[in-house]
Amino acid sequence: MSTRDTFYITTPIYYVNDVPHIGHAYTTVAADVLARYWRLRGRDVFFLTGLDEHGQKVQQAAAKAGIDPQAHCDRLAPQFTNLWDRLNISHNAFIRTTDKPHQSVVQRYLQQLFDKQLIYKADYTGWYCTFDERFWTEKDVVGGLCPDCKRPIEQLSEHNYFFKMGQYQEQLQRHILEHPDFIRPESRRNEVLGFLQTQKLGDLSISRPKSRLSWGIELPFDKDYVTYVWFDALVNYISALEYLPQGQPAGLRYWPADVHLVGKDILTTHAVYWSTMLMALEQPLPHTIFAHGWWTVDGEKMSKSRGNVVDPNKMVDQFGTDAFRYFLLREVPFGQDGDFSHSALVTTVNAKLANGIGNLLSRTLTMIERSCAGVIPERGPAVLPELEQRIEELAAQLPGKTETGFNALQFRDVLLMIEELNGCCDEYIDKSAPWKLAKQPETQPQLHTVLNTSARALRLLALLLYPFMPKAAAQMIEQLGLSLDLSRPLAAEAGRWDAPLAGSKIQKGASLFPRIESKPQGAKPVSDTPASPQPTAAAPSAAPAAPQSPAPAATPAAAPAPAQPAQISIDDFMKIQLKAAKVLAAERVPKSEKLLKLQVSLGTEQRQIVAGIGKKYEPEALVGKTIVIVANLKPAKLMGIESQGMVLAAGDSEVRGLATFVEDVEPGTKVK
């Protein structure tokens, strides 16, 4: 990674005819995370994305729609710009290859190469794929189909202009060997090297006759031809710097790019075509071309024909922008292929965000509000020295490890480190039990230590999470009562564990990450309202119908013997799985005086349980208690909220008390 004060990050320019899908969102969110991180670190960042708007497919689609190609592009462009707004993409510029300044730069570079005799005209016969807008050699074609898109292709013979790409083969090989970070990840680097070492690099056709294609940039040295779409598109990375930076003089101040982010399907285009073009133009090559993997959907290739294309707009509607961004970069190591599933996204939101970061924030602020009048307290004496030291060591290491992760573009590693600190803090709160410390005046100093430590961890988590979840991170900072502006570079001391914090007045707000209520796969449909309970002695049924005639006098009789409960075998009983569960959070269910929604820990997992104990207990009184639950009960919905277990309580028509423990019992312990 460059050590310059500037940082230039690009996405590919996306084809305007495409409908934005998860792949577009993935690349652009990754670029945005990098841009936000380096801005925080004080780098002068230029983040470029945009659209490729020339070519045969655009011309054909416009003709089919009966409109001008430019009007066609203008109609489609907002589907990308609107999505970037929804995904909170902080790009500095959005280039369109129909921009007149861009076209001028392309023509200038074409003329330079022509004047250097690096472009020549020749006859060419080959197999042409209209969809990919490229020629293929005879050995590439099998069964008359394009080797890339598998569509039928046609054989064409025509005069075209060629760029002498082949003469830069050895130079490109040397550059790749001498610069290990030029193509990443390493597997992709090896692919390109293997290609260059085993095959002769031919020259590149860089024109199309206007008789076949008119929608493109006219060659400056031949008015009968337009530029091949790839030559046009690739130049955007430099042309944009001449006219799009706001308040900056024209020029190449940001060049070379620090990172070109691309999908693996266009790696050759960037690593070979673009690199040799830059060599011919005597421009420095980008520091890194990083090719990430593809997304499948539930194990299948994503395609329109399968109807499984993931619409990022729908994901934002359902899960929110920050949660979707978090999932994209956490689910799979960057550079590898990933599989999208709705259930995996729900699991990530619930386990890592709702039960993780969101729960830690809610627990901490609730206790500060109730025990410290909403003011973050000063640290007191140690409570759990070893665990506190571990938290501080993690916090001290995280800024450096985070930078290493961002330099390597290993976003998942960064998020896993963040989750480690989050988990350590959860363990700290569970073991220190601040709800118990709050009950005794003599343990108030220890309580303050726990709350101060947790608030410090949350502050650091917000700073680290900002590139991934900018809105949520800003809300965390606001709820902690801090005045940090995360859109501006942070001073070096901002990331220190001992940065000023005590005395801040918290502003507790709504839950950042509400749990996603989702019916488990394979579960039977469950009504949103609970089934009516069967009448019991404690809950009388409706009055019987009035008699039609006076009843005869009853003959006194012995009282009926009480009904005996049905007996079960030991095998029946063993089917019930009882476990100890620690209550992490509790709140009332709206519009119900009886139901409470509990978040409980079973040690290795967290669950949500809806329990009818609201008349007996206030929610805050339950936090920290270890209770008994039925752990293998099928999930059900109560008032539209999924319950993943049952709380054991004593009583008949009224709850008398919860089943708890005399001794301390670890969450998840089986109850026999």
Query: Model confidence over 630-639: pLDDT tens digits?
Result: 999 888 888 8
pLDDT score recorded for residue 200? 93
Taking residues 547-562, report their average pLDDT.
Answer: 40
Local structure of residue 302 (DSSP, 8 states): -
**Coil/strand/helix, residue 179:** coil
Cα-to-chain-centroid distance, residue 334: 12
Cα distance between residue 611 and residue 595, in whole Å: 5
pLDDT-based confidence at 660, cuts 50/70/90? Answer: confident
Q: What pTM does this model have? A: 0.77
Q: Are 274 and 316 within 8 A, CB to CB?
A: no
The yes-or-no verdict on residue 29 having pLDDT over 60 is: yes
pLDDT score recorded for residue 151? 81
**Coil/strand/helix, residue 428:** helix
- Span 208-235, pLDDT tens digits: 999 989 999 999 999 999 998 889 999 9
The yes-or-no verdict on residue 581 having pLDDT over 60 is: yes
DSSP string, 54-80: -SHHHHHHHHHHTS-HHHHHHHHTHHH
Residues 14-25: b if buried by 16+ CB within 10 A, e if exposed: bbbbeebbbbbb
**Are β-strands 134-136 and 44-52 bridged in parallel, bridged antiparallel, or unpaired?**
unpaired
The yes-or-no verdict on residue 111 having pLDDT over 90 is: yes
Cα distance between residue 417 and residue 401, in whole Å: 8
- Span 355-408, pLDDT tens digits: 999 999 999 999 999 999 999 999 999 999 999 999 999 999 999 999 999 999
Write out the H or E segment, with its range, that includes residue 478.
helix 470-479
pLDDT score recorded for residue 217? 97
Q: Count the residues in the chain.
A: 672
Summary count for the chain: helices (H), strands (E) = 22, 26
Q: Are 335 and 292 within 8 A, CB to CB?
A: yes
Which of 11, 103, 97 shows the shortest CA–CA distance to 49?
Answer: 11
pLDDT-based confidence at 249, cuts 50/70/90? Answer: low
Cα distance between residue 654 and residue 657, in whole Å: 9
pLDDT score recorded for residue 359? 94
pLDDT-based confidence at 656, cuts 50/70/90? Answer: confident
DSSP string, 116-174: TT-EEEEEEEEEEETTTTEEE-GGG-BTTB-TTT--B-EEEEEEEEEE-GGGGHHHHHH
pLDDT score recorded for residue 604? 72
pLDDT score recorded for residue 527? 27
pLDDT-based confidence at 494, cuts 50/70/90? Answer: confident
- Span 520-544, pLDDT tens digits: 443 333 223 333 333 333 333 333 3
The yes-or-no verdict on residue 473 having pLDDT over 90 is: yes
pLDDT-based confidence at 661, cuts 50/70/90? Answer: confident
Taking residues 548-554, report their average pLDDT.
Answer: 36
The yes-or-no verdict on residue 177 having pLDDT over 90 is: yes
pLDDT score recorded for residue 158? 78
- Average pLDDT of the chain, as a whole number: 87
The label of the residue with tokens 């386990």 reads 351
Dihedral over alpha carbons 140, 145, 150, 151 (to 10 degrees):
140
pLDDT score recorded for residue 487? 83
The CA-CA-CA angle for residues 631, 527, 312, to 5°, reads 85
The yes-or-no verdict on residue 558 having pLDDT over 80 is: no
The yes-or-no verdict on residue 491 having pLDDT over 50 is: yes
pLDDT score recorded for residue 466? 97
Query: Which of 640-643's residues contact partners 24+ apart within 8 Å by CB, and which partners?
Result: 640/517, 640/528, 640/529, 641/517, 641/589, 641/597, 641/608, 641/610, 642/517, 642/518, 642/519, 642/608, 642/610, 643/608, 643/609, 643/610, 643/611
The label of the residue with tokens 């598998």 reads 150
User: Which residues are 288's β-sheet partners?
Assistant: 259
From the CB of residue 491, how many other CB atoms can be counted at a distance below 10 Å? 11
**Are β-strands 338-340 and 218-219 bridged in parallel, bridged antiparallel, or unpaired?**
unpaired
